[in-house]
Chain A
Amino acid sequence: MDAALTAARAGLVSCHSCHLLVRPPAGGAEAMEHAACPRCGAALHSRKPDSLGRTWAYLITAMIFYVPAMALPIMTTTTTFGGARKDTVLSGVYYLLTTGMWPLAAIVFFASVVVPVLKIVILVLLLVTSRQGGDWRRLDRARLYRLTEAVGRWSMVDVYVVTILVALVRLQALAIVEAEQGAVFFAAVVVLTMFAARSFDPRLIWDQRSDATP
């Protein structure tokens, strides 16, 4: 495993965009900085630039935003007879649960609460273990990375629910739904964790300490 021949060790660069294997231009780091893929024109990098630092930055911002995203209401429903009712992400899940739609409640709870937390925890774990450069459970770490990329998008479901309700429930005299600040923070968490997952370079899981660093 340690003797695995990677593109980096062979002195080659795999294009991030089209995966063409390219021999980097002669002239070292400076020539590499301006190098573009001959097939698709994307900038060439052996590893994503500043992967660990960028991913940390997105993740820490996401963690901070997660607090108001959960604590603040995401929408207000005003009805003529029921008055105004503010809903958070969790009270929305609870509502689905009590109206007898527990499978839907489970899906929304998973997508809105479990997935963002899981994504943040997994990415922190990957960042910490990749910095150390050890070979601890590499295959499992690679699988965790793929999992975070695959499930992250489903967190958007609550943002869409609010959008659809806002569009539908606007009968001024009877009922009206308005979006609240919590929805903005929640959407920001989803976007930030997507950026975090994309700026993490999974090759760092496999790189040996002796390999070229990003």
Chain B
Amino acid sequence: MHAATIACHECDLLQRTVPLPRGGVARCARCGAVLYRQGDTGLDQVLALTLAGLILFVLANAFPLLTMRIDTNVQPATLLSGALRLADQGMAGLAALVVLTSAAAPLLKLLLLGYLLVPLRLGWRAPFAARAFRVVLALQPWAMMEVFLLGLLVAMVKLSSMAEIIVGTALYAFGFLVLVLAGITASLDPRAVWDRLGVR
């Protein structure tokens, strides 16, 4: 294949690849799109972040994010209880979208990355590895945990005049999880993974 030449994925211009320093970004000479980046960490660090992310995901789901209190009435909310309530109210489609974007897509991304990277670290290739990585890349736009965090902030402000809002343990785990996911996006160089997976 043409290992040293790539086409810009946004304008199709053929360009020669050059080695980059850590954290460096190669941009298309014509349209300015990011051609590729050299992860500022290796795949080992991505693997470490992935495992940390999985632990945080469990914590973020196991405890209430927020709890509302009016007098003696207490109502906690977890990541998934909102979606369950939407489904109860006959809005299954909306509930499915919320579950997909705030929980399922990020979880699947973390699980598949772990499935890929643990075997690569041990020097072998997981079955269907290329397909799994394609799914990871396709899930990227649908994982919107950082947007959910903004939604939590807005909801807290909206309720602050009406009730007492107690911040739960899971909210901190959720905040760190958003940072970890951003770290994975920033440090993962898809080319490095494809190179390791090789051409069938």
Contact = CB atoms under 8 A, between A and B. Distances in A.
Nearest to A4: B13
- How many chain A residues sit at the interface, stated as a range, is 35 or more
A159 interface: yes
Interface stretch (B48-56, B68-76, B109-117): B68-76
Interface string A81-108: 0000000000010011001010010011
A79 B131 CA distance: 50
Nearest to A173: B73
B122 interface: no
Contacts of A154: 147, 150
B12 interface: yes
Contacts of A39: 130, 194, 197-200
A138 B94 CA distance: 38
A146 B141 contact: no
Interface string A10-24: 101010111111100
A63 interface: no
Given A96-B157, A107-B150, A179 B194 contact: no
Nearest to B36: A19
A104 B155 CA distance: 11
A191 B97 contact: yes
A198 B138 CA distance: 11
A171 interface: yes
Given A38-B199, A206-B12, A160 B161 contact: no
Nearest to A5: B14
A114 interface: no
A172 B67 CA distance: 15
Interface in A128-171: 138-139, 142-143, 145-146, 149, 153-154, 156-161, 163-171
B10 interface: yes
Interface stretch (B27-35, B38-46, B179-187): B27-35
B23 interface: no
Contacts of A41: 130-131, 134, 200
B1 A104 contact: no
Contacts of A174: 70, 73
B94 A183 contact: yes
Nearest to B9: A19
B190 A187 contact: no
A154 B150 CA distance: 9
B199 to A, nearest CB: 5
A27 B141 CA distance: 35
B75 A18 contact: no
A114 B138 CA distance: 26
Contact of B91 (A42, A156, A179, A205): A179
Contacts of A175: 70, 162-163
Q: What are the 10 closest A-B residue pairs judged by CB atoms, nearest first?
A: A160-B151, A167-B82, A7-B7, A167-B77, A163-B82, A14-B7, A6-B12, A164-B155, A206-B11, A202-B10
Given A39-B200, A159-B151, A206-B11, 14 more contacts: A20-B199, A38-B1, A40-B131, A111-B150, A142-B10, A156-B147, A160-B148, A161-B155, A164-B66, A169-B68, A169-B159, A170-B85, A187-B97, A203-B11
6 contacts: A14-B9, A159-B94, A160-B147, A166-B82, A169-B75, A206-B12
